[in-house]
Amino acid sequence: MSIPFRHISDEDFCVLFSEDPEKAIAYIHRALKAGEEQAGRAATQALVYLQLDFISAVVSKNVKKHLCDEVADGAALRAVEAVIKTPPELVNMTQFRGWLRVIVARHVASVARDKREQRRRDSQSLSYTSEEYEGKVIEPGEHDINLELVGDWDVINQQYELLGEEHQKIIDLRIFADQSSREVARILKSAFGLTVTENNIDQIARRFRDDCQDAAREQ
């Protein structure tokens, strides 16, 4: 005979979590299994906010320091929204943190895309010239590869759309989110399971800039 589900307050849930995180997960699982979706969602939302330190730690590896708090808060809200829409079926804390890590990674990628759009609106000139690098070997992190690019942002969008999904992620993070090649390599590995060397990241970013430069000249 199964044990009847009993509601507990958010405060009691937090105490339960501090004493035994696995029991807190089990409470959520029982709530959803008993058809008490509101209680399950409420407890899962509380669990998200109890993981703010974990969220901040993940974010700090993926974005610049001055953006960490803002991005971490946004990632927590994104996780809460995901809980409200579709409560995850949780078994243990490892599974929950895996689910949460995916939400955070998606939010970081979204922030990168938003920053790219902001640069599209704000930037008016192309400061890069390919002659600067002619005949040189590009070492990881040696040069700033920021795009302060092209008055005609349609050119950049056209070149961006020609890239494969992996290269788009690299351009989003290396150029538009202004991450170092080392940080990009770490994000690609931790969030997407992709292994790309720092040197390759800079080469891909440089090639993208060259392609944008050439396309702009042909306009």
- Residues 17-37: tens digit of each pLDDT: 999 988 888 888 888 888 888
Q: Which residue has the higher pLDDT, 138 or 155?
A: 155
Instruction: Please report the pLDDT score of residue 199 as a whole number.
Output: 92
Do 63 and 82 lie in one domain? The reply is yes
Q: Which residue has the higher pLDDT, 122 or 159?
A: 159
Do 18 and 87 lie in one domain? The reply is yes
Tokens 């005949």, located at residue: 135
Q: Would you say residue 118 lies in a domain?
A: no
Q: Would you say residue 117 lies in a domain?
A: no
Do 165 and 102 lie in one domain? The reply is no
Q: How many residues belong to the chain? A: 219
Q: Would you say residue 3 lies in a domain?
A: no
Instruction: Please report the pLDDT score of residue 100 as a whole number.
Output: 87
Do 135 and 206 lie in one domain? The reply is yes
Last residue of a domain, one of 112, 142, 168: 112
Half-sphere exposure of 106 (CA within 13 A, CB side): 11
**Domain of 97, in residue numbers:** 10-112
Tokens 């060397």, located at residue: 197
Q: Which residue has the higher pLDDT, 111 or 202?
A: 202
Instruction: Please report the pLDDT score of residue 120 as a whole number.
Output: 58
Distance of CA 87 to the CA centre of its chain: 20
Instruction: Please report the pLDDT score of residue 204 as a whole number.
Output: 92
Q: Would you say residue 2 lies in a domain?
A: no
pTM: 0.53
Do 97 and 131 lie in one domain? The reply is no
pLDDT interval class at 198 (50, 70, 90):
very high
Instruction: Please report the pLDDT score of residue 200 as a whole number.
Output: 93
As a whole number of angstroms, the distance between CA 8 and CA 213 comes to 61
As a whole number of angstroms, the distance between CA 176 and CA 170 comes to 9
Torsion angle defined by CA atoms of residues 180, 111, 58 and 90, in that order, rounded to the nearest 10 degrees: -150
Instruction: Tell me the pLDDT of the chain averaged across its residues.
Output: 77
Question: DSSP state, 63?
Answer: S
Torsion angle defined by CA atoms of residues 96, 97, 98 and 99, in that order, rounded to the nearest 10 degrees: 50
Q: How many domains does the chain have?
A: 2
Report whether pLDDT(121) > 80. Answer: no
Tokens 């890069």, located at residue: 128
Tokens 């501090």, located at residue: 18
Last residue of a domain, one of 79, 112, 145: 112
Q: How many CB atoms lie within 10 A of CB 100?
A: 22
Instruction: Please report the pLDDT score of residue 152 as a whole number.
Output: 57
Last residue of a domain, one of 112, 141, 166: 112
Q: Would you say residue 75 lies in a domain?
A: yes
Instruction: Please report the pLDDT score of residue 117 as a whole number.
Output: 65
Do 68 and 130 lie in one domain? The reply is no
Q: Would you say residue 127 lies in a domain?
A: yes
Instruction: Please report the pLDDT score of residue 129 as a whole number.
Output: 42
For position 34, which CATH number holds? 1.10.1740
Do 161 and 208 lie in one domain? The reply is yes
